Amino acid sequence: MTEDRSYFDNPDGTSRRHYSAEVICFTKYFLIDSMAVYGAAMPDPEGVRHVLPPDASPEDLGSAIRDALDRSRFIPPSHPEFSKLFKERRAEELVDAYDAELMRLAGVKTKASLYRGAKGGYVTFWPDHNEIQVHVAARRKGRYFWSNKGDPVGKRTIPADASAGELGEAYLAALAESGQVS
């Protein structure tokens, strides 16, 4: 059985493209990764990663987010790399390696210490709508779970041509709005 992904299609049958960056706020740093996107966002092995201090200015934060968006890719099922990125990689091994790298960057020894108080989400550029959407949620207790729909979530939508400072301010406003659940 194949998965129905028609909700990503335009009326003419072409795929609706979008580009995404994951932005996580840990207590010791901001982590910004470009994504390989098709229905689900995955860190792009050919993308970019930025690590910024927790007191980074909105301008610096927005510049890093914009760079990650510019370097993210939209890889549909027809692309030769789709299987390599979405089917051949073992999720558990990837997540464990990802968490180990994040713990090293934070200087902590446990995942509980790393994720305590963390908030994260996605910044997505939608060329069809010429807008950037920011979605931030707090970390849920338990492994790999961000908050549910009933929890406070920060959302912002800004024009695609917004300045780096405006993008950083939008992310920080959504971050402040997202609440605390962990």
SS3 sequence of 129-155: CCEEEEEEEEECCCCCCECCCCCCEEE
How far from each other are the two terminal CA atoms of the chain, in whole angstroms? 37
> Does residue 127 lie in a domain region?
yes
- Pick the more confident residue, 20 or 95: 20
Lowest-pLDDT range, 41-50, 68-77, 85-94, 95-104?
85-94
- The reply to whether 50 falls in a domain is yes
Confidence at 92, pLDDT banded by 50, 70, 90: low
Strands 73-74 and 30-38: parallel
Query: Residue 147 belongs to what domain range?
Result: 19-177
**Is 9 domain-assigned?**
no
DSSP string, the chain: -----GGGB-TTS-B---EEEEEEE-SS-EEEEEEEEESEEEE-TTS-EEEE-TT--HHHHHHHHHHHHHH-EE--TTSTTHHHHHTSS-HHHHHHHHHHHHHHHHT-SSHHHHHTT-EEEEEEEETTTTEEEEEEEEBPSSTT-B--TTS-EEEEEEETT--HHHHHHHHHHHHHHT----
More confident residue, 49 or 151: 49
11 within some domain: no
2 domain-assigned = no
Question: What are the tens digits of pLDDT across the range 122-148?
Answer: 899 988 888 999 988 876 655 444 555
Cα–Cα dist 150/170, whole Å: 22
Domain count, the chain: 1
**Burial status of residue 110 (CB atoms within 10 A of its CB: 0-12, 13-18, 19 or more):** exposed
pLDDT bin (cut points 50, 70, 90) of residue 87 is low
Distance CA 29, CA 38 (A): 27
Q: Tell whether 44 is covered by a domain.
A: yes
Q: Give domain status of residue 75, yes or no.
A: yes
Mean confidence (pLDDT) of the chain: 79
What is the CATH classification number for the domain harbouring 41? 3.40.1590.10
Q: Is residue 28 a part of any domain in this protein?
A: yes
